[in-house]
A and B are shown apart, each in its own frame.
Chain A
Amino acid sequence: MVRFVMRRALFAVPVMLVVTVLSFVLTAFVPGDAARTILGPDATDEEYARLRSEMRLDDPLVVRYIVWLGALLRGDLGRSLLNNQPVVDALNQRLPVTLSLIVVAALVTAIIGVAFGIASAVKGGALGRGLDMLASFGQAVPDYWLALLLVIVFAVNLGLFPATGWVPPGESVSRWAERLVLPVVALAAGGITGIAKQTRDSMLSVLASEYILSLRAVGVPMSSIIFRHALRNAAMPVLTVMGMIFVGAVGGTVLIERVFALPGLGGLAVSSTLYGDIPVVQGLVVYFTAIVLVVNLLVDIAYGLLNPKVRVR
């Protein structure tokens, strides 16, 4: 098991390298010149030349990448072209918002999705058919559109939740939670239907399997069959889908943060992209990739815990 986790964790290294190399190479083609962007049109040629060499803009791409990577390993992602703020500070300041959203949405998605899936597998009938339809919609409704709908109904018309804004949990947990409700629902809804449907499908096929039959054949009670045996085996394909849905949700936060004006990484991603603030964009790539890798690693660990074929050779 430890070796399995180690192997999966080591997989993060090539992913990070590929992603950062890609973004580095791509951004090398950015039209214009970072030094000019910072200095503005009034700077002298001398100032310009000094800044260029300071930023190593004249070095070959490979050298610049290695320098950048070295700095990254020391926790330095450079400075924003717009306001000269260290990129790491800008990102860390916004990270808690995005993480709150992702973690809470992931938990909600997993718990509600699996619960619905089990219920519809065991009860079947109308619940099952309803879930099939809901799942199709869940895949088709854009989450930001759903978010706007939620704002109209629950914030504007019913006034149950605030439409926008952010309160750090350190300040007030209840107000933090209150402001997270609608964004989390919007981000989680599609995933809930997807996970519920996957849970139902794999529960049904596991329940039809020979080993479930042979458990029933020796009188093991249905409750133990469903919650101990079937659920555990059905969980594996569900986990895979969960991983994919969570990775999708990491991207989805960008849109959801926009709707609810949450001061997270997503908002920064949009503005830095619009203004061509390359160091920040690169920093965001590192952060988001890291989040995705952590999500995937957790899914892998859960997978290993559930599946003895991975755990025990």
Chain B
Amino acid sequence: MTPKPSPTKAPTRRDVTVSLATVTNSSPAVGSARSAEDRVLSSRRSPGTIVRLLLRRPVAVISLLWIALVSIASFAAPLLMPRDPYETNLSKAYQGPSLENLLGTDQLGRDLLSRLMIGGVEPLSGAAVALSIAVVVGATAGILAGYLGGVFDWVSSRWVEISMAMPGLIVLLVVLAVFPGNTMAAMVAYGFLIANPVYRVVRAATFAVTPELHVDAAKSAGLGALRILRRHILPRIMGPLIVQATLVAGVSILLNTGLGFLGFGPKPPATSWGALITEASQLIVIHPWMLVPTGFVIILTVLALHSIGDTVRDITNERWAGMPRRARRRQVPAEAVVVDQQPVAGPEGSALLEVRDLTVAFGDDRVRVVEGVSFAVNAGEIVGLVGESGCGKSVTGRALVRLLAEGGEIVGGSIRFDGKDIASMSEREVNALRGSEISYISQDPMMALDPSFTIGTLVGEAVQRQEGLRGSAQKQRVLELLAAVKLRGPEETMRRYPHQISGGMAQRVIIARALAGRPRLLIADEPTTALDVTVQAEILDLLREFQSRFGMAIIFVTHDWGVVADICERAIVMYAGQIVEAAPILDIFAAPKHPYTEGLEASNPHHATRGVPLPALAGSVPAPRDWPTGCRFAARCPYATPDCKEAPIPLLSPGPERLSRCIHIERVGTREGVTK
């Protein structure tokens, strides 16, 4: 019985053997496939903090109490036992639970509770031995491998690889053949075999701190090894180490009871949990009850260990998630939520897309991240949706094709495309639109192609879906599309996998796929952000070409004013979930009518003058839970006055085709605030 792997901590073997495959495999979102390094770096918490947080979780407290109870009951059994576990009384054999024998009696009338208590000594001390060895050996080897690297690291990592291919129980049987009846020797050997997870965690942490150590060592030559361990390494690995320790303790108990069940353990009449199950197994026909108490104690003990481990994992991962728990509970006051009924922005007429009052909320407590967004896009038009990250522009873009991330929901408003409301369609109806009428391109081209299929298959799938083509006709059309997006050597590209092509090529492939159904609207979410500048320009040219050739409208979600200036006819600026300004592109550059737009443009590196420092937009977009009642930009605004913060600011119309959510429009552009 080798360690049963915890299902949530997934690939450990592969980290070493095919590291390329797991670490770079598919998406980094595969949380369970995160490397040991990630886990270690993400969970730096002092042991005290972990214990304190642990004691706040009821499940963990109950588990700790159970472990304590079982340990005390076993090791202090001679003092606490209700009866003599070896005293036979045939007249009371085979009894169920009673007041006299709380857990009943066995075939010789011996008290089962007392036997269960005394029987815990063997598995618990065996597990303690295996655990200590695993921790000491794993931590020592891990520190040495991480600190020395080189040959030692190579050898120990190969040993880990090899020892994971050994059938644990069989190795232990060899040990037992050598040391007859000595289960402690077997547990010592087992400790060596399961030192791997500890080794891994410690090694990764040591690797991470080694540069720090060299600095420290230079400062004070006599930095003792123990101090290095205590100050630098232990704090980093406390969480993962506890998690691994609970797993090791759990499998060690299961292993020891397994050995006991096979007849390896204390000689009768002395007993162990495993031996108690063996006795029970011989009587299952006449006295099946005997199986129950021991089984439950083993199961509960292992469960308790695992739930302590799970809780520690949660505690240490919480920090990684970067979300402080307290902020989570704060609710937005109901009156702070404002949905204004502003007219549709942009030129009136036969709009292809008409968004009204779009409101999107996330999570169980329905936090609104996009509020009352209204705008329209005409056929063939290129509109920029501009703002910093966290302003709601990407959520808006994804809401238009109903591809919101987990937990996101359109809670208000309408999205009229060609007269039909996308917001109220069934999933089936929306899916019929996707790719054929509206396509969506997401941010990172390298992440947007399924790594397991060739480019030909991935584009072919869209072609089949959109045009019903198969076989050679499908291939022909894929080649056409790849050529249309100006990919060199389309034949060869078709046979390639996503990991074999560059980011620029990947974005071309994605565009080809998105255009397979000749959509009338393309929503492009930061399609050039992840690319080199020269490649960016090529992709923009490509998109412009498609727009003019097929009359396709494009909504360009971006934070880059250079891109906006280059390609868009109109810009819609978003801040903290709202539209704050909308205007034709020339106007918005000539004279921004909202302080946020002004600040964004001023901090745009494309407009920088050599020698003049780039004015930075101080502060950042507030989180959706922290949106104020009044102007959401006021805190960062150089023009802000007290009345800005009093009430929600409506969208005003300072000129033809222009909108601004600012009550100080006339002062924007005077720069008086900026220079103040």
Interface set of A (CB-CB < 8 Å, partner B): 11, 14-15, 18-19, 22-23, 26-27, 29-31, 135-137, 139-142, 144-145, 148-149, 151-152, 156, 190, 193-195, 197-198, 201-202, 205-206, 208-222, 224, 229, 232-233, 236-237, 240-241, 243-245, 247-248, 250-252, 254-255, 258-259, 269-270, 272-274, 276-278, 281-282, 284-285, 288-289, 291-293, 296, 300, 303, 306-310, 312
Contact = CB atoms under 8 A, between A and B. Distances in A.
A237 B10 contact: yes
5 contacts: A11-B165, A205-B32, A236-B21, A237-B32, A244-B5
Interface in B400-459: 401, 403, 405-406, 431-436, 439-444, 447-454
A244 B433 CA distance: 44
B22 interface: yes
B461 interface: yes
A214 B516 contact: no
B98 interface: no
A223 to B, nearest CB: 11
B7 A220 contact: no
Given A136-B307, A214-B510, A217-B403, A209 B4 contact: no
Given A236-B22, A251-B1, 7 more contacts: A142-B295, A208-B29, A210-B447, A214-B440, A303-B14, A308-B451, A309-B25
Interface stretch (B225-233, B250-258, B618-626, B652-660): B250-258
B177 A273 contact: yes
B302 A140 contact: yes
B277 A148 contact: yes
Contact of B291 (A145, A206, A312): A145
Contacts of B439: 217-218
B284 interface: yes
A251 B5 contact: no
A202 B176 contact: no
Given A217-B439, A241-B5, A198 B451 contact: no
A14 B162 contact: yes
Contacts, number: 321
B562 interface: no
Contacts of B444: 210
Given A219-B435, A236-B26, A303 B11 contact: no
B593 to A, nearest CB: 34
Given A237-B22, A237-B30, A303-B18, A139 B4 contact: yes
A205 B448 contact: no
Interface string B274-314: 00010011001100100100010011101100110010000
B439 to A, nearest CB: 6
A194 B7 contact: yes
A139 B306 contact: yes
Contact of B20 (A140, A254, A278, A309): A309
Contacts of B500: 312
A247 B3 CA distance: 9
Nearest to A198: B7
Closest 6 CB pairs of A and B: A219-B435, A251-B169, A218-B435, A217-B440, A140-B302, A197-B7
A206 B261 contact: no
B284 A148 contact: yes
B76 interface: no
A121 to B, nearest CB: 12
B29 A205 contact: yes
B398 to A, nearest CB: 8
Given A139-B250, A152-B291, A219 B30 contact: no
B261 A217 contact: no
A123 to B, nearest CB: 15
B25 A145 contact: no
A236, A250, A252 — most chain B CB neighbours (10 Å): A236
A144 B261 contact: yes
Contacts of A151: 284
Nearest to A235: B452
A152 B262 contact: no
Given A142-B298, A237-B32, A254-B262, A217 B10 contact: no
B510 A310 contact: no
Interface in B509-527: 510, 513-514, 516-517
B177 to A, nearest CB: 5
B376 interface: no
B567 to A, nearest CB: 20
Contacts of A236: 21-22, 25-26, 33
B25 A307 contact: yes
A287 to B, nearest CB: 9
Contacts of B452: 229, 232-233, 306-308
Contacts of B447: 209-211
Contact of B449 (A211, A232, A244, A272): A211
Contacts of B7: 135, 139, 193-195, 197-198, 201, 241
A26 B277 contact: no
A241 B443 CA distance: 32
A229 B450 contact: yes
Nearest to B163: A18
A272 B497 CA distance: 53
A202 B34 CA distance: 11
B8 A248 contact: no
B619 to A, nearest CB: 29
Contact of B441 (A211, A212, A214): A214
Nearest to B2: A248
Nearest to B258: A255
A259 B281 CA distance: 8
A183 to B, nearest CB: 14
A291 B465 CA distance: 45
B168 interface: yes
Contacts of A195: 7
B199 to A, nearest CB: 16
A195 to B, nearest CB: 7
A208 to B, nearest CB: 6
A214 B451 CA distance: 13
Given A216-B434, A244-B13, A284-B170, A251 B2 contact: yes
Given A152-B284, A197-B8, A218-B517, A145 B173 contact: no
Contacts of B465: 218-221
A296 to B, nearest CB: 6
B315 interface: no
Interface in B350-407: 401, 403, 405-406
A137 B5 contact: no
A149 B454 CA distance: 50
A214 B5 contact: no
A25 to B, nearest CB: 10
A211 B440 CA distance: 12
A306 to B, nearest CB: 7
B442 A214 contact: yes
B174 interface: yes
A269 B175 contact: no
Contacts of A233: 26-27, 450-452
A258 B453 CA distance: 46
Given A18-B162, A221-B431, A247-B2, A281 B174 contact: yes
Nearest to A307: B21
Given A210-B443, A240-B13, A218 B5 contact: no
Contacts of A277: 177
Given A30-B177, A292-B167, A308-B499, A156 B514 contact: no
B26 A209 contact: yes
